A and B are shown apart, each in its own frame.
Chain A
Amino acid sequence: MTRITCKKLSKRYGKGPIALDNVDLSLDTTGVFALIGRNGAGKTTLVRILSTTLFPTSGDAKIDGVDVVGEADEIRKRIAVLPQEARPIPWMTPRELITSYLMWRGVGYKNAGKKASEALDLLGITKFGDTMHSHMSGGTKRKVLVATVIASGADIIFLDEPTTGLDPISRGEMWDLLAKLKKGRFIFLTTHYLEEAEALADRIGVLDEGKLLAIGSLSELRRKTGYPYSVKILQKADHIKIKLGRVIRGRDGNLQVFTTKKGADELSRRLISNGIKFATNPVSLEDIFYFFVKKKVDEGGEETGGGEWQGA
């Protein structure tokens, strides 16, 4: 089984703040791994280090035991990377771009042309194959770039925020494509759209301020929160004393309780008897994300954590 492993991987750009902070990671390279995190969390930094385009400051990273710094040449044969905010060369057509990219990878001209046609077909953009990129919509351009890295035949594909900035329809199309493409190759994806990770990923990593806070499948992450249910209180409920689970305050000022099945039932009964509106759901990825990211806020002392909380 191929694995990506990082040990105490850290990155500091120049004398700036730390961008990646002691990341330990062990990841099977099958299906889709989605790295989620806010802007500036360090997603791009991690992708660039793993894809050999950026040196780490300390720690190490390996793919299949091969070091991404010392043996980058070996790694590069097996990976293809689509950088964040990459754009297809405006004065070229998709067929020309894919052909050239494959030639840069060492494929002969003829063979590259053939593979370009196949990739265009796979991505459903054959009809744009000979249109100049400058005449294309943003969604199509992004598909061209994905087609380009997929055409490489690499078994590990890094896509850094491939859907950021796309309209909802194009984004949906990209999800369908990625769901199709993940068969037969490993896709390391970054995104700040949580629905995207939820829809596509087999495993998800939560990165914040350079720290990998959690990693696992959605159900594993749910379990890791310790509280598989979320009770969202939809109005002011400061007089309710909540003794169950963990409470965070949402941006709307209302409370959200992460709790067990039993806790959710009990809380529901009390909220109903007090006539307070609420919604109970299995925790979503969004809940999980806030759970882990906010937990750090708690530990920083800005909010009280723990099992008991009296609304203020």
Chain B
Amino acid sequence: MARSVASQIFASVLVNAVYAMKNFPVMLINTMLTPFSFIIVITFISHGALFGLAVEGALIMTMVSNGLGLQGDLSHLKNDLKVQEMVVGSPTSATIYIVGMAISELVYALPTLAILVVLSFFFLNVSVIGAIAIGGALFLMFVVAIALGFFFSTITSDVIQSFAFSGMLSTLLSALPPVYYPITYIPMPYQYIAYISPTTYAAQIVQNAAGFINLSTAGLVVDWIVLIAVAVVLMSIAIKKSRWVEV
């Protein structure tokens, strides 16, 4: 039983990460391009001052964009290839499928994450507790992105709808929030807009852990609570409201 569940999860990882990387490596380069080009641009503009912050920003962005990537990948498998329907009509549950697919997105992000972690290790001064906090915030952002990606993939029926939703989501989760610079760079009334995005809370946690900003304990607690709550709520909506069997 446990072994067959492991097989079922591993199937998604094979399809969506292992075989994709092996047979179509250009897709991998594509996922690395955006975070690293941001690091370069931010570093140049800030004359090097924001390099460390940009590396941490790239970590968040990698988790968010790979998590959201689930939406496009699932839409493709479901709407264009009809492979998901073959899976629905087979002994796999929606939960097993999504867990496998989520892991596959993480596997896809591994090369990028590895480089960023090495850079953080050499260029940043992060305590063990700080590293755990960063890991936790990254994980929660990944859960948020996966939940949104999964939910929208199940309610879209064609690729154009899917593009529209993924455009909106990526604006909300990665363009709007201050990922590559501190939120204090945003003038006051506009800071509130940034707080619409859950990414902002993760960015504050990460920036605080790496010593780029100094949050009060109360502020930090609020960030964690918001981030955990958003992750839990979105994940339960995704599981409850998404359609596995069509209606």
Interface residues, chain A, with chain B CB atoms under 8 Å away: 48, 51-55, 72-73, 76-77, 79-89, 91-93, 96, 99-101, 103-109, 112, 132, 148-149, 152, 158
Contact = CB atoms under 8 A, between A and B. Distances in A.
A73 B15 CA distance: 23
Given A80-B89, A101-B86, A152-B90, A54 B245 contact: yes
Interface residues of B, number: 32
A104 B8 contact: yes
Interface stretch (B75-83, B114-122, B133-141): B75-83
Contacts of A83: 82, 85-86
Nearest to B90: A105
Contact of A92 (B4, B19, B97): B19
B15 A92 contact: yes
B20 A91 contact: yes
19 contacts: A48-B85, A52-B89, A52-B245, A55-B245, A55-B246, A80-B86, A80-B89, A83-B86, A87-B80, A91-B24, A92-B15, A96-B14, A96-B19, A103-B8, A104-B90, A105-B92, A106-B4, A106-B92, A108-B3
Interface string B101-144: 00000000000000000000000000000000000000000000
Contacts of B213: none
B217 interface: no
A92 B76 CA distance: 14
A103 B82 contact: no
Contacts of A103: 7-8, 10-11, 14
A83 B3 CA distance: 28
Contact of B11 (A55, A100, A149): A100
A48 B247 CA distance: 11
Contact of A89 (B15, B27, B90, B91): B15
Interface string B60-95: 000000000000000001001111011111111000
B170 to A, nearest CB: 23
Interface of B: 3-5, 7-8, 10-12, 14-15, 19-20, 23-24, 27, 77, 80-83, 85-92, 97, 245-247
B81 A87 contact: yes
B19 A91 contact: yes
Contacts of B23: 91-93, 132
A104 B14 CA distance: 10
Nearest to B87: A104
A89 B77 contact: yes
Contact of B89 (A79, A84, A109): A79
A101 B7 CA distance: 10
Nearest to B27: A91
A20 B114 CA distance: 53
B82 A86 contact: yes
A230 B4 CA distance: 56
Contacts of A88: 81
Nearest to B80: A87
A177 B141 CA distance: 49
B7 A149 contact: no
A205 B217 CA distance: 71
A51 B89 CA distance: 6
Contacts of A89: 15, 19, 77, 81, 83
A72 B65 CA distance: 34
A106 B7 contact: yes
Contact of B8 (A53, A93, A106): A106
A103 B87 CA distance: 10
A48 B82 CA distance: 12
B82 A80 contact: no
A100 B68 CA distance: 23
A158 B245 CA distance: 16
Given A72-B245, A80-B90, A87-B82, 18 more contacts: A52-B88, A53-B88, A76-B89, A79-B90, A80-B86, A81-B86, A86-B81, A86-B82, A87-B80, A89-B15, A89-B77, A89-B81, A92-B19, A96-B19, A100-B15, A103-B10, A105-B90, A106-B8
